[in-house]
Structure 1
Amino acid sequence: MRDQKFYLHSPDTAPTDLIKTCSDFPPVSPYRRFPFSDIPKTTQDLYQSSIFRTQYLVESPSGDSFIVIWCMAGGKMEKETSRLMCDTKGFMVFKQDHGKKLCSYTQDIGDLCIFLGKNESFCVSATKYPGLNPNSVYFEGSETGFGFYELSSNTVHDLTHLAPFSTFYLWLAPLE
């Protein structure tokens, strides 16, 4: 913890400051997200045309923070398992600038790889883990399968077409 507080992040403007905790739990504060800026038209179109969107807060090893929006197309029913499958259309990444109080759209996170799933999101350096594709977002979900998205080329790479049937699969951050 940077400042001995727990934070709650909400993808919208929900009033997280109304949450009261018991006296045995440390203070909980709303996480302040800054307004988005510099969003290209094609990225706005991606957002508008996506049926499902999920937002994540991710912190890099160096302390930079990103808001990542996972955009998915409408689902289709998988005959083999009778579950709804969605196609990943892309990701929008915004780097938070605490000085300017803005979230700037970016397609370049350098050597970093962002991991998203049903559990905690995290970020690692591709240099430290050979085989990872730098400047990419890795994703997993029972409704999407496993894959990664190259930010610079806006390309989705499916690592599995259909995730093995399970309640949840979770990325686990490597132990340092």
Structure 2
Amino acid sequence: MSRRIIRLSKLSSRNNNAFIQKCVRFFSTGPYLTLGCNTGDVLLFDPAKEQIIVTLQGKTIPKELKDEEMIGASHGWGFFYDRRDLSVRMSDIFNPLASKSNPTVIPLPRLTDLPSEQIEQVCNVAMSSPSPLGDEDCVVAIKFSGDQLSLCRPGRDLEWTNTSTPSHCCIHFFSYHLNDENIEHHKLVYRDHPELDQSEWKTLSMCSRREYLVESPSSDERYLVKWYAQGSYSSVLNGIDYKTKRFMVFREEETAEGKFMCYTEDIGEMCIFIASNETFCIPASSCPGLKPSTIYFMGHGFGSYDLTTGDTHHYKAPGGVITTPCWIPLVSI
């Protein structure tokens, strides 16, 4: 099966990493999982304390967001879509340090050049910088089902640049750069898979599998996460209910023979956060209560997965329906 992974690059990733390293020292809040808004209160889940918190009580919900659907998040910014007029907006409404009375809302170009059925199926949203207004090179990318990818620069572009991701029979990821129309192809070559017996591999082959590319904010390390979920019929859902079976993490390593994705059960003090947001990782030491070498997830279940032991810890699922749960990264004061 063809699998495609997309990474959005800045012009200078080295400078971007330096910015994040500098900010890490001043981080104080989060990460949190968004649970939506309830009569003006922003509801968040704190994985370090394993509890739901109500933050920013009485926060003003911008009128232009009240009837819009959240389609993803990146760098703490939520992205919202209005099915009626195809408009897209981004907002820092879930940022605990954002203005209570006047959250920032940035309008993006309307998605008028795409078929309506394709717009309905957003896979993920990514942004190249945490400062969409302060960084003129910031790019937003929306990946739809199939091969459709749309890009724009917030506050600068009047329309989306629509492109198609290449199709390959092997596993690749692709880099897009602002001043270069050529797409960089990066083939993923795997080494050192886990030692599992034949029955375990057979079980995994029947599981649903999702893949996520994660880059460390404080180094050049890159990880690829494979998320396996086993489906079974649920009479309550009247459909298939998926439960997390296991995760696999591969770290990119450079050798004399080239770059390889090598299986690992130890990512040091890093924690990885996966939901409907752009996947990210942070050091556990940056937020007391987080566990190192752990994946925090929401989707096929809700919990944390210890890479070292292979144990899954399940959190109590919040009440109500959360259509687009997103992890909001650490926020600096």
Range class of TM-score, shorter chain: 0.7 to 0.9
Match of 1:56 among 212, 232, 238: 212
Query: Following TM superposition, by how much is the alpha carbon of 1:108 offset from its aligned partner in structure 2, in angstroms?
Result: 0.3
Aligned position for 2:231? 74
CA contact (8 A) 1:10 1:16 kept: no
CA contact (8 A) 1:146 1:163 kept: no
Aligned position for 2:242? 86
Match of 1:127 among 250, 264, 285: 285
Could you tell me which runs of 5 or more consecutive residues in structure 2 were left unpaired when the two chains were aligned: 1-9, 14-127, 129-138, 142-164
Aligned position for 2:273? 115
User: Which structure features the higher share of strand residues?
Assistant: 2
Give identity over the alignment, percent: 30
SS in 2 for 1:119: coil
Q: Which structure would you say has the larger RCO, counting Cα contacts within 8 Å and 6 or more residues apart?
A: 2
Amino acid at match of 1:71: Y
Aligned position for 1:20? none
Moved more, 58-67 or 33-42: 33-42
What TM-score, normalized by structure 1, do the two folds share?
0.78
Cα pair distance change 1:138/1:43, threshold 3 Å: farther
Q: Structure 2 matches for 1:154-169, cutoff 5 A?
A: 154-161=310-317, 164-169=320-325
Query: Number of residues paired by the alignment?
Result: 169
Cα pair distance change 1:52/1:148, threshold 3 Å: same
Query: Following TM superposition, by how much is the alpha carbon of 1:168 offset from its aligned partner in structure 2, in angstroms?
Result: 1.5
Moved more, 7-16 or 24-33: 7-16
Query: Following TM superposition, by how much is the alpha carbon of 1:37 offset from its aligned partner in structure 2, in angstroms?
Result: 0.5
Amino acid at match of 1:165: V
User: CA-to-partner distance for each residue in 1:70-108, whole Å, 9 max, x for gaps?
Assistant: 0111133261x5564211111000001134311110000
Matched, 1:104 2:262: yes
- Which has the higher Rg, Structure 1 or Structure 2? 2
SS in 2 for 1:42: coil
CA contact (8 A) 1:46 1:90 kept: no
Match of 2:191 among 17, 37, 47: 37
Amino acid at match of 1:72: A
SS in 1 for 2:321: coil
Cα pair distance change 1:167/1:129, threshold 3 Å: same
User: CA-to-partner distance for each residue in 1:116-167, whole Å, 9 max, x for gaps?
Assistant: 11220000000011111111011111xx232110001001111135774122
Amino acid at match of 2:307: L
CA contact (8 A) 2:172 2:186 kept: no
RMSD of Structure 2 on Structure 1 (CA): 3.5
